[in-house]
Amino acid sequence: MTDIPAFKKALSAEADVRLIKFASSLIPDLKYPMLGVRIPVLRNMAKKIARQEDWREVCTELSRSQTYEERMLAGLIPGYRPLKADELLPVLREMLVPLIDNWTICDCCCSTYVAVRRHREEVFDFLLHYARSSAVYEQRFAAVMLMDHFLIPEYFRQVLDVLTSIRPSGYYAEMGVAWALSVCFVKNPDTTYPIIQSGKIPATVKRMTLRKILESRRTPDSWRTVVRHDLRTA
């Protein structure tokens, strides 16, 4: 069994106060105190806890905590479990989504749940509920999960359809959709760019998407002039 007080003490021992100012400046809507523990350290801790029998109890305890790092850990731990479909959906719904109240917890945790790739059919339908949500971070959750785990040929057009159906309720949802669309573009520009230009996405999201495309080192040089022109007129 995990000794929670001892674990929290070990977590505090990894804290770097010099990191707090910089890291917290990237999360202006952060609602919890930050210890200053780096994400690679948190990932290593999460992997160890995920191998324990009491991992669910640890997640529950950490999710009640009042520090950013402990809540991040509560979201990361299940991502390192080989979850079956009937375990994965309840974990996403009941353990991960309620924790997401800033973009870093969303993005770091979503990429960790590689079990999604073994159960894409079930998870895709599950994500549609969040794509239709009016809550900013539920919308971002849907967009980032689709980007991280569904950009394969069998799902590519469906992902584009879902992304263009989201009507973002705020900046972090807008940026999540724009980021996902920019990655779609890098993977398949000929299919994605007409969708970006089709008028199916809000103008703000379109401009964000074009900027993200230009920022990407993976954008082919042959496209950059086109994208720059379209951004000037967007």
Express each pLDDT in 94-146 by its tens digit: 999 999 999 999 999 999 999 999 999 999 999 999 999 999 999 999 999 99
Kindly state the tokens that stand for 50.
């995920």
Question: Domain map of the chain by residue range?
Answer: 1-118, 127-234
Name the band, by pLDDT with cuts 50, 70 and 90, for residue 6.
confident
Contact between 220 and 189 under an 8 Å Cβ cutoff? The reply is yes
Neighbours of 23 (CB within 10 A): 19
Predicted confidence at residue 1, as pLDDT, reads 61
For position 134, what pLDDT does the model report? 97
> Closest by alpha carbon to 216, among 147, 152, 154, 140?
147
Closest CA to 124 of 174, 88, 74, 172: 88
Question: Which pair of structure tokens corresponds to residue 84?
Answer: 């079956």
- Map tokens 């339908």 to a residue: 125
SS3 for 167?
Answer: coil
